[in-house]
Amino acid sequence: MAQSFQQVASVRYGFVVRRGLDKADIYSIALSPNVQWLVVSSDKGTVHVFSLRVRVGGEEASTQIVPFQSPAIVQQNSSTPFDPLSSPTAAANANSSLYFMRGVLPKYFSSEWSFAQFHLPEGTRYTAAFGLHNSILIVGMDGSFYKCTLDPVNGGQMSQKEYVRFLKSDSQRCATR
């Protein structure tokens, strides 16, 4: 569970995002250059992308979404290659299917779940960052490199576009000796 806060014009916005049910060690956290998205990698072999948008006055995400940044930052970043990631039609993070029970366990059931995910082999530390054109770049301590694309409107499972292995594993090194 990760918590984030920002204060704009004396109004404090905050939200809690969740990557899964069980405890995990977070290996990397990165913000997109336009501060609209958060990517997180953990020891569970999954990279999660969260939308950092704030709903206004409890309205549905499809009606009005306020960016999680000041207008000056939005204007400053409006010509970056990340414009599609700041699409006004981008969907919000999913809520738990048990959201209606948020009164019983408020922190758990009212938190938002990841908007998009990519699954990796467990047992390796991965670092994730934002690339160009809705891409997420993932580098593993085992020498692996993944490039995935994010659908900024629908989210869900990210599509793998590239995979490269830059280092040989110990078993591969022994076989070549």
Contact 47, 137 (CB under 8 A): no
H or E element at residue 18: strand 11-18
How much is the pLDDT for 67?
Answer: 34
Go through 157-170 and write b for each residue having 16 or more CB atoms within 10 A of its CB, e for each that does not: ebeeeeeeeeeeee
The domain ranges of the chain are 2-175
* Predicted confidence band of residue 168 (pLDDT cuts 50, 70, 90): confident
* Predicted confidence band of residue 69 (pLDDT cuts 50, 70, 90): very low
Summarised one tens digit per residue, pLDDT across range 85-118 is: 444 445 555 444 444 444 544 444 445 678 999 9
Summarised one tens digit per residue, pLDDT across range 43-68 is: 889 999 998 875 444 444 432 333 33
> Is the model's pLDDT at 119 over the cut of 60?
yes
Summarised one tens digit per residue, pLDDT across range 124-157 is: 999 999 999 999 999 999 999 999 999 999 999 9
